[in-house]
Amino acid sequence: MKVHSSQFGPGGVIPQKFSRDTENINPTLTVVDIPEGTKSLLVVMDDRDASNAPAVHWLVYDIPVSHVIEKNNSLGQNGKNDFAALGYQGPGLTETEHEYSFRVYALDEKLGLGAGLSLARVEQSMVGHVLDNAEMRARFGGNVERHQ
C-alpha cells in the first residue's frame, strides 16, 4: 500500500492553505494498492518534531474504503487531536522546520467507535485488524513556507 498527495510530494513542503493559520483543511490523500478484504481506512497525521512529539494533528477512523480521501474530508469518525479538538488541525508557523507524518491504515473491519477518542484508545482497537499501512512525510515551518 502507498499514500501520496497531489498537493505536495513525499518530503515536500505542505502548502500554507493546509496550515491552521489559513484555511486549516486536510490535504487530499491518494491511497493505492489497498489490500483485498479492507473494510475501513484510518488516517493519522502527526508532528514528529513537536516538543510533545509525536503531536497528533489529525485522527480519523472508520473511513469508507476509497482510493481518494478528499481535502476537507468529513467521512469517518474524527478522533481527538492533541489540541483538545476533533478533526484536522493543520501545522502552525514555527521558527524551525517540522516533519509531519501522514499514515493510512487498512483495517479488516470498521472499528465501530464513536467520535472523540484518543489515538491511544483507537490503537488498542486496531490490534489484530491492520492489513497494511503506508506513510508519507512532509515538512512545514521555519523558512520552508516562505518559499511557496
The H helix count followed by the E strand count for the chain is 1, 8
pLDDT at residue number 144? 58
What's the average model confidence in pLDDT over 103-121? 97
Q: Which residues contact 120 (CB under 8 A, 6 or more apart)?
A: none
At 17-72, the pLDDT tens digits run: 999 989 999 999 999 999 999 999 999 999 988 888 789 999 999 999 999 999 88
Cell numbers for 29: 490523500
Residues 110 and 62: beta-carbon distance below 8 Å: yes
The 8-class DSSP code of residue 121 comes to: H
Q: What domains can you pick out in the chain, each with its CATH number?
A: 2-147 (3.90.280.10)
Q: Which strands sit side by side in the sheet containing 77-78, from one edge to the other?
A: 77-78, 55-63, 40-47, 97-107, 130-141
Q: Do 51 and 144 form a contact (C-beta atoms < 8 A)? A: no
Instruction: Tell me the whole-structure pTM to 2 decimals.
Output: 0.93
